[in-house]
Amino acid sequence: MTVACTQCISIALIALAGSPWSYANETVRVFEAADSIEWERHSFTGETRYQLSEVDGRPAVHALCTDGTASGLFLHEDIDLERTPIIEWEWRVERTFEGIDERTRAGDDYPARLYAVDQHSVLGWHTRAINYVWASKEERGAQWPNAYQSRAVMIAMRSGVESDARWITERRDLRQDFRNIHGRDLS
């Protein structure tokens, strides 16, 4: 299991953690903003500017995209989903995009997203992904295939801008999501 994160016109702090009340022997791994700013950068088109900043008194990675840029920060790491099936992150979005259809290639753009990838380097067609996104207009909870990759599914965790542009914590059971969406029991 590989986890990758990308933010655009957002501020995000990413954490990967086990559920402390459900799993007695798990390992908790926390990624601070200073850690994630050092993750591998990958440009799809142009370059997003990433910088460490402080927002509402907490350290954050601030990502700023200009028109036509698309890139991300990636962490390639094996994760034991039997011990740590829960992924938790915080994000904050100040703006969303207008006039786009997020289900199309032309509209495949999100103020913030976090990828979780079950990657198979030898059998590439076995690779599957889940994209947790902060959507601009898709309803919260909506799921749809990625416009570029049929083996990736988008999940709208949030939609639009929160009225007070505050930090929001998200928590998902990655193992259960891969089981439900891709029919895979990852351990």
Q: What average pLDDT score do residues 86-103 get?
A: 88
Q: pLDDT band at 97, cuts 50/70/90?
A: confident
Q: pLDDT band at 92, cuts 50/70/90?
A: confident
Identify whether the C-beta of residue 40 lies closer than 8 Å to the C-beta of residue 76.
Answer: yes
Question: What does the pLDDT look like over 9-62, one tens digit per residue?
Answer: 333 333 333 333 333 445 677 788 888 888 888 888 888 888 888 888 888 888
Question: What does the pLDDT look like over 136-155, one tens digit per residue?
Answer: 999 999 999 999 988 899 99
Q: State the Cα–Cα distance between residues 2 and 8, nearest whole angstrom.
A: 20
Residue of higher predicted confidence among 81 and 131:
131
User: What is the model's pLDDT at position 125?
Assistant: 66
Percent of the chain with pLDDT over 70: 81
Per DSSP, the three-state class of 35 is: helix
User: What is the model's pLDDT at position 131?
Assistant: 93
Cα dist. 170→37, 47, 89, 132, 146 in Å? 20, 26, 5, 10, 21
Q: How much is the pTM?
A: 0.80
Q: What average pLDDT score do residues 150-166 get?
A: 87
Identify whether the C-beta of residue 162 lies closer than 8 Å to the C-beta of residue 91.
Answer: no
Q: State the Cα–Cα distance between residues 40 and 36, nearest whole angstrom.
A: 9
Identify whether the C-beta of residue 133 lies closer than 8 Å to the C-beta of residue 153.
Answer: no
Q: 86-93 and 10-16 as β-strands: parallel, antiparallel, unpaired?
A: antiparallel
Mean pLDDT of the chain: 79
Q: 128-135 and 58-64 as β-strands: parallel, antiparallel, unpaired?
A: unpaired
Give 187's Cβ-side CA count (13 Å radius).
Answer: 2
With 60 as the cut, is the pLDDT of residue 94 above it?
A: yes
